Amino acid sequence: MLNEKSSSSRLNRLRTLSMSPEILHTCISPEGSALKTASYKSSIPVTTSLQRLGAFGERDPMTLHMLGLHGSGYAKMAIQNADLILALGARLYDRVTGNIPKFAPKARLAVSPKNVNKVVEATIPVIGDCAESLELLLPLTKVTKRPEWLSQIQAWKEIYPFQAFNQSGNEMILPQVFIERLSDAVEPLKERTIITTGVGQHQMWASQHFRWRQPKTMITSGGLGTMGYGLSAAIGAKIARPNALVIDIDEDASFNMTISELLTASQFGIDVKVVLLNNEEQGMVTHLQTVYFNKRFCHSNNLNPDFVEAARAMEIHAESCSRIDDADNRFQWPLETLGPALLEVKVAQKALSLPMVASVRGLDEFQFYAH
C-alpha cells in the first residue's frame, strides 16, 4: 500500500533501478487528469488494454493505443524496449505479454495494484487505488524530456500504423476501413458514444480502428470471450445511459447467439444501433486455421439467416451494404434512424487480424500487414 513516506522511498528505488525510457501501461483507473499529467510531466507514453480503451485519449500524441497480441506495433515495440514500465491496474496476462519469458526484457518494474505478480513479476508492487497512488507519486516525479525515446516512438508509429488501408469505388468493404469511417462519423459524439462488441475479429478491429476518446465507452467481454455479448450489453448500456449513442459492432456468428434480443429492443423501444459486419464466417477461427492449420477450414462457417429480413421480422429498421462507395452513403443511416436499427455491412472474408503475435513468439515478433 502506498502512503506519503513509502511512495517517496519507492520512487527513489525506481530511480536507481532505471532512468529512461519509460512507458505507462494502464488497464483500469485512473482516467483523466492524473494520468495525463503524469504522462506529460515525465514524457511517458501511455498504452492501454482492451478493457480500458479510452482511459487515455487516443488522439493524444502520447498515446500508444492498445497493447497486446492484436495491439499496435508501436506499443509492442515500446514495451519491449522500455526499461521502466509503470503498469497501473494491468493484469499483464498472456494475451498482453506474448511469450512471458520474452516479455519486456529490459524492463525493471511493474506497479500493479491488482493481480500483482500473477503472470509478470513486479520489481516493486504497489497495492492501492490507482488514482490515489498516482496522485501520491506525481509530486515526486521529475519534469523530464525524453526527445530520443519520443522520436523513436514516432518512428515506430510511422512504420506500423493502424490506418493502413485505402479503399474507394465499388470494392468490397474492408471491416477495418468501415470501423475507421464509423469512428470518424461519431467523432463529435464520442463523449456520449458507447460501443459494445461480440467476440472475434470484429472485436479486435473495433479496438484497433475506432479511436477511443473516453473511458468506459468500450463494453466487451474481454478475456471471458462471450459471443452474443454485444447486443445484450448494448441494451443494458442504453437502459443505463438513455442519452448515449449505443452501437453494437458485431459479427454474424456472435450476433446469432442472441439475435432474439432484437425483440427486446423492439418491444421496449430500446434505441440501440447494430452495425453488423458480416463476413459469413467465424472469422477469428478461420484466421487461426489459416495461420496454424494451413487453411484447413473446418466447422468455422455457419448458416446465417438473412439478417435484414430477420431484423425486419422483429420490427427493427434494417438495411444492408457491401461496397465501399455504398457504405459512404449508409454511414449516417443508423445514426439518423429513430429507434433501434441494424445496418448489415457485408465485408470481405478471410481477412487476417493483424498485427498479431503468434503463440510462443515475443511481443515484438509480430506479423504485420503486407502493404
Ligand X SMILES: Cc1ncc(C[n+]2csc(CCOP(=O)(O)OP(=O)(O)O)c2C)c(N)n1
Judged by the rule CB under 6 A, the positions of this chain that interact with ligand X are: 198-202, 225, 227, 251-254, 279, 281-285
Nearest-approach distance from CB 303 to ligand X, in angstroms: 12
Give 83 or 369: the residue with its C-beta nearer to ligand X: 369
Sort strands 245-251 and 193-197 into parallel, antiparallel or unpaired.
Answer: parallel
Residues 295 and 326 sit within 8 Å (Cβ to Cβ) = no
Query: Rg of the chain's alpha carbons, rounded to an integer?
Result: 21
List the grid coordinates of 93: 496476462
Size of the site for Mg ion (CB under 5 A): 4
Nearest-approach distance from CB 259 to ligand X, in angstroms: 12
Nearest-approach distance from CB 94 to ligand X, in angstroms: 16
Give 180 or 252: the residue with its C-beta nearer to Mg ion: 252
Nearest-approach distance from CB 346 to Mg ion, in angstroms: 11
Q: How many alpha carbons lie under 13 Å from residue 183 in its C-beta half-sphere?
A: 22
Would the CA dihedral through 36, 42, 45, 51 be positive or negative?
A: negative
Residues 80 and 249 sit within 8 Å (Cβ to Cβ) = no
Give 31 or 251: the residue with its C-beta nearer to ligand X: 251
Which parts of 216-255 interact with Mg ion (CB under 5 A)?
251-252
Residue 285 binding: pick among ligand X, Mg ion, none (C-beta 5-8 Å cut-off by kind): ligand X
Nearest-approach distance from CB 278 to ligand X, in angstroms: 8
Give 10 or 287: the residue with its C-beta nearer to ligand X: 287
Q: How many alpha carbons lie under 13 Å from residue 317 in its C-beta half-sphere?
A: 15
d(C-alpha 274, C-alpha 144), whole Å: 45
Q: Which residue is nearest to ligand X (CB)?
A: 200
Residue 214 binding: pick among ligand X, Mg ion, none (C-beta 5-8 Å cut-off by kind): none
Nearest-approach distance from CB 282 to Mg ion, in angstroms: 6
d(C-alpha 46, C-alpha 135), whole Å: 17
| Helical pair 201-209 and 175-185, crossing angle rounded to 10 deg | 40
Q: Based on the shown chain and the rule CB under 5 A, indicate whether residue 58 belongs to the binding site for Mg ion.
A: no
| Helical pair 130-137 and 4-17, crossing angle rounded to 10 deg | 70
Which parts of 255-284 interact with Mg ion (CB under 5 A)?
279, 283
Residue 320 binding: pick among Mg ion, ligand X, none (C-beta 5-8 Å cut-off by kind): none
Residues 55 and 49 sit within 8 Å (Cβ to Cβ) = no
Give 63 or 254: the residue with its C-beta nearer to ligand X: 254
d(C-alpha 236, C-alpha 264), whole Å: 11
Nearest-approach distance from CB 254 to ligand X, in angstroms: 3
d(C-alpha 358, C-alpha 363), whole Å: 9
Which parts of 137-176 interact with Mg ion (CB under 5 A)?
none
Nearest-approach distance from CB 168 to Mg ion, in angstroms: 24
d(C-alpha 247, C-alpha 58), whole Å: 19
Residue 225 binding: pick among Mg ion, ligand X, none (C-beta 5-8 Å cut-off by kind): ligand X
Residue 254 binding: pick among Mg ion, ligand X, none (C-beta 5-8 Å cut-off by kind): ligand X
Nearest-approach distance from CB 3 to ligand X, in angstroms: 42
List the grid coordinates of 22: 519509460
DSSP 3-state percent helix, strand, coil across the chain (nearest 5): 40, 15, 45
Q: Is 336 exposed, middle or buried (0-12, 13-18, 19+ CB in 10 A)?
A: exposed
Residue 227 binding: pick among Mg ion, ligand X, none (C-beta 5-8 Å cut-off by kind): ligand X
Give 56 or 229: the residue with its C-beta nearer to ligand X: 229
Secondary structure class of 73 (helix, strand, coil): helix
Give 68 or 198: the residue with its C-beta nearer to ligand X: 198
Residue 198 binding: pick among Mg ion, ligand X, none (C-beta 5-8 Å cut-off by kind): ligand X
Residues that bind Mg ion (CB under 5 A): 251-252, 279, 283
